[in-house]
Amino acid sequence: MSSTKLILQSSPHLRDDDSVRRIMLTVLIALAPATVASVLMFGTRAVVVLVLAVLGCLAFEAIALKIMKKPLMPYLTDGSAVVTGILLAMNLPSGLPWWMVLVGALVAVVLGKQVYGGIGSNPFNPALVARVFLFISFPTAMTTWPVPGSDLFGMGADVATAATPLGVLKTDGLAALMSSDSNLYMNLLTGHVGGCLGETSAIALILGGLFLLLRKVISWEIPVTFIGTVFAFTGVFYLVDSSTYADPLFQILSGGVMLGAIFMATDMVTTPVTRKGMLLFGFGCGLITGVIRLLGSYPEGVSFSILIMNGFTPLIDRYITPAPFEDKGGELQAP
């Protein structure tokens, strides 16, 4: 053995497969309302995307483990691949060609997770890596949104499509958005708007979030600061010029803010461990989302904002250190 160095790591120190499985199961239960809502809105197309994404993630996980000569168990059955698959599906439009869903699964598992060494080692949220990969690779397919509630038992791409509310806002302006849907806020809450599978019903997502909070799988800091910052940032613009900028309530209910803040930005592996760090993380996500939405050329910025903040996580964890030890000139000393 050449390496007898003492390895210093921040918490958590205990890695326990059962707890991974328990957490993943809780997340799956929390995702259930939103999953059901997506199937109700988009019908068989949503089912196809969900099934393909989950099976794809499991299959590619198994292949990747084989290639890297790691044991299949317990990695394959710890539920993380299933969660990644469902989260990926939640970030895709229904009616996406089947092979693109599989490409997404491949990217999520291999490029998002396994190249870094598997579960617990990935710096970026795998499902979001895959979403952004697909979004940049296939911009047309990834921005073709079937109209919710139409042609529920159909297959394939032959379906009526519509822009998302955020898309309408970006290309046609606020007046067009407001006149496009007389019942906009109610529809945003129930999910009767175009968008990704999981970007639709705010109520279903919040229900899942409350369950996660209750089971202590996530804590309140990131979701609340994320959503709060988006609200505050867009609110300032709204107050200054309410004829151009949409109101903050619309901003937090539309697009991926709820899904991102509750399920994606709270991923334990890729977000800070300390409370202060989490507050900073949520604030950063909200700010970047607001900047992209209002000042950038893309209508939506949630996935980019979370990935960017994922990149900052090691830095945040490093500079907001847990209390018991102080960092003095590079040496760890007891206070």
Partner 1 sequence: MSKLAELTKGLWKENPVFRLLLGMCPTLAVTTEVVSGIGMGLSATFVLVMANLVVSSMRNVIPAKTRLPIFIVIIATFVTIVDLVMNAYAHDVHKSLGIFIPLIVVNCVILGRAEAFASKRPVFDSILDGLGMGLGFTLGLVALATVREILGNGTWFGMPVTGEGYTPFLLFVLPPGAFISLGFLLAGMNSIENRRKAHG
Partner 2 sequence: MSDKKDSNIAAVVVVVIIATVCAAGLAFIKDLTADAIQAALDNETLSAVAKVVPKNCEADLAKQFVFPEGEGGLTFYPAYDKATGDLCAFAVKTQDDKGYGGRLQLLAGFSHLDNPEGLVLQRVYVLTHSETPGLGSKATVGQDEDPDTWGDDPVKVFGVNFRMKQVKDMSFTAKKAAEAGPNDVSAITASTVTSRAVTNAAKKAAELVKGNLEALKQKGAR
The residues binding partner 2 (CB under 8 A) are 138-140, 143-144, 171-172, 297
Query: CB-wise, 34 or 132, nearer to partner 1?
Result: 132
Judged by CB under 8 A, the residue of 137, 179, 219, 242 near partner 1 is: 137
Distance CA 214, CA 221 (A): 14
β-partners of residue 93 are: 196
Count residues binding partner 1 (CB under 8 A): 11
Length of the chain: 335
Partnered with residue 328 across adjacent β-strands are 331
63 binding partner 1? (CB under 8 A): no
Cis peptide before 12 (omega within 30 of 0): yes
By a kind-dependent CB cut-off of 5 to 8 A, residue 143 interacts, out of partner 1, partner 2, none, with: partner 2
Q: Are 285 and 301 in contact (CB under 8 A)?
A: no
Q: Which of 133, 231, 263, 281 binds partner 1 (CB under 8 A)?
A: 133
Q: Report the partner that residue 171 touches, choosing among partner 1, partner 2, none (CB closer than 5 to 8 A by kind).
A: partner 2
Q: Does 298 bind partner 1 (CB under 8 A)?
A: no
Nearer to partner 2, 151 or 247 (CB): 151
> Which member of 139, 149, 156, 311 binds partner 1 (CB under 8 A)?
139
Q: Assign residue 287 a region: left if phi > 0, alpha if psi is -120 to 50, beta otherwise?
A: alpha
Based on the shown chain and the rule CB under 8 A, indicate whether residue 250 belongs to the binding site for partner 1.
no
Q: Between 97 and 149, name the residue whose CB sits nearer to partner 1.
A: 97
3 state DSSP class of 182: coil
Binding residue for partner 1, selected from 115, 155, 157, 239, defined by CB under 8 A: 115
User: Shortest Cβ distance from residue 92 to partner 1 (Å)?
Assistant: 15
Residue 249 binds partner 1 (CB under 8 A): no
Name which of 132 and 280 has its Cβ closer to partner 1: 132
Q: For residue 308, state whether it binds partner 1 (rule: CB under 8 A).
A: no
Stretch that binds partner 1, among 55-63, 120-128, 130-138, 263-271 (CB under 8 A): 130-138
Q: What does 111 interact with, of partner 2, partner 1, none (CB < 5 to 8 A by kind)? A: partner 1
Is 111 among the residues that bind partner 1 (CB under 8 A)?
A: yes
Nearest CA to 75 out of 85, 67, 65 is that of 65
Q: Which burial class, exposed, middle or buried, applies to 264 when counting CB atoms under 10 A from its CB (0-12, 13-18, 19+)?
A: buried
* Three-state SS at 96: coil
Of the candidates 42, 89, 35, the residue with the CA atom closest to the CA atom of residue 193: 42
Kindly report the CA angle at 191 between 189 and 194, in degrees rounded to 5? 130
Closest separation between CB of residue 170 and partner 2, Å? Answer: 8
- C-alpha 20/C-alpha 187 separation (Å) is 36
For residue 269, how many other CB atoms are within 10 A of its CB?
A: 17
Select from partner 1, partner 2, none the partner in contact with residue 2, using the beta carbon and a kind-dependent cut-off of 5 to 8 Å.
none
133 interacts with, out of partner 1, partner 2, none, CB within 5 to 8 A per kind: partner 1
Number of neighbours of residue 175 by Cβ within 10 angstroms: 10
HEC assignment per residue over 251-307: HHHCCCHHHHHHHHCCCCCCCCCCHHHHHHHHHHHHHHHHHHHHHCCCCCCHHHHHH
Phi, psi for 254 (deg, rounded to 5): -95, 165
75 contributes a contact to partner 1 by CB under 8 A: no
Name the residue nearer to partner 1 (CB basis): 231 or 304.
304
Among 141, 152, 206, 320, contact with partner 1 (rule: CB under 8 A): 141
* Residues forming the site for partner 1 (CB under 8 A): 97, 100, 103, 111, 115, 133, 136-139, 141
